[in-house]
Structure 1
């Protein structure tokens, strides 16, 4: 299948970027550079980062990528065979959440944060469809730091699409996207800056 560039001009920002069975909207940069820079530094230095862990075919995998998990209540989140317990929101992360909510019109009660040190770290094909999440809920991803390509692949047809996530930009996934599409952040040999991804979610 051909790889389609999703974000080519400003007119495409609020249309559905998936051709079928899902809904993805790219808002572009919602933060100016100074604000995005400041939030990136606070995330990098103040969030409670730890290496992500998962079980694959009975084997424990520890990633170089780091994660942090925050929520309105001290709820748990289980994926890849591991259960994570949420921490209380830092005030600056609540500020970011409010900014994201004001742009997309949805309300979130949790945030899974990801820290990629370089282009050597990424995420393979997956969908965020764990039982702890609201079915067909909204996931809002705010990108801070180095620009990275983000891919989608339809589970049935294999059709693919891609876009570049910019520093300070917002991506929304909703509806049946997780049921029908996989997404990934591929590794790259390019010299890219560290990146923080704040994925705001709706837990049951």
Structure 2
């Protein structure tokens, strides 16, 4: 597994890994059609240490998928932890518990799965999409994403096209996409022609949302 060199942040030199508070620290941005996003910069203290533990300890796998009548490599490495499976680091369990405490009443249920993506360098990406497999395609839901490692832009735009919003996320930032966001908006992490270091995103989802 070849991964670009990782440059730790000078602002995140904590030896231990902890999640910060959410109450009073989250900023909500209301979008169109009942969608919204919550942002909590630098939510994970010691995020760079967590990045290195996950990069080195998760059993990453490469996948191939059918696309446009041919089979292509998925441009990132993946790992998935279903409901009831132990997460690969206790810090992720702490993050999920904190998200449940903050959002369970609004969501009406808990986050039960965790999908991890490792973007090795600027050539790795994810195309425009919404998490519409399962209930996400027909019901309001939430997807909470913790981003570790080097910052990359996460883009959001209305489904069907339109001007995109840009969120530069990395080093422990949290973004929560809620309401109708998965049905009425798309998101993407574009390729980068400039040299960028590796990035891990951790996506916490409720049951039957992919």
TM-score of the pair, normalised by structure 2: 0.76
1:137 equivalent to 2:141? Answer yes
CA distance in 1, matches of 2:25, 2:168: 14
Q: What residue in structure 2 maps to residue 49 of structure 1? A: 60
The 1:28–1:19 alpha-carbon spacing in structure 2 relative to 1, beyond 3 Å, is farther
Q: What residue in structure 2 maps to residue 115 of structure 1? A: 118
Q: Which runs of 5+ in 2 are unaligned?
A: 1-23
TM-score of the pair, normalised by structure 1: 0.78
Give secondary structure in 1 for the equivalent of 2:65. Answer: strand
Q: Could you tell me which of 2, 26, 30 is aligned with 2:43?
A: 30
Give secondary structure in 2 for the equivalent of 1:50. Answer: coil
Kept in 2, the 8 Å contact 1:139–1:201? The answer is yes
CA distance in 2, matches of 1:42, 1:141: 18
Could you report, residue by residue, the CA deviation over 1:4-57 in whole angstroms, capped at 9, with x for unpaired residues?
Answer: xxxxxxx9951225244411111111122xx10121111111112101332213
Q: What residue in structure 2 maps to residue 67 of structure 1? A: 78
Q: CA RMSD in A?
A: 2.4
Q: Which moved more, 1:59-68 or 1:133-142?
A: 133-142
Q: What residue in structure 2 maps to residue 188 of structure 1? A: 192
Kept in 1, the 8 Å contact 2:75–2:126? The answer is no
Give secondary structure in 2 for the equivalent of 1:98. Answer: helix
Q: Which runs of 5+ in 1 are unaligned?
A: 1-10, 74-86
Q: Could you tell me which of 144, 152, 157 is aligned with 1:153?
A: 157
Question: What is the CA distance between 1:63 and its match in structure 2?
Answer: 2.2
Q: Which moved more, 1:44-53 or 1:100-109?
A: 100-109
CA distance in 2, matches of 1:197, 1:66: 11
1:98 equivalent to 2:97? Answer yes
The 1:91–1:150 alpha-carbon spacing in structure 2 relative to 1, beyond 3 Å, is closer
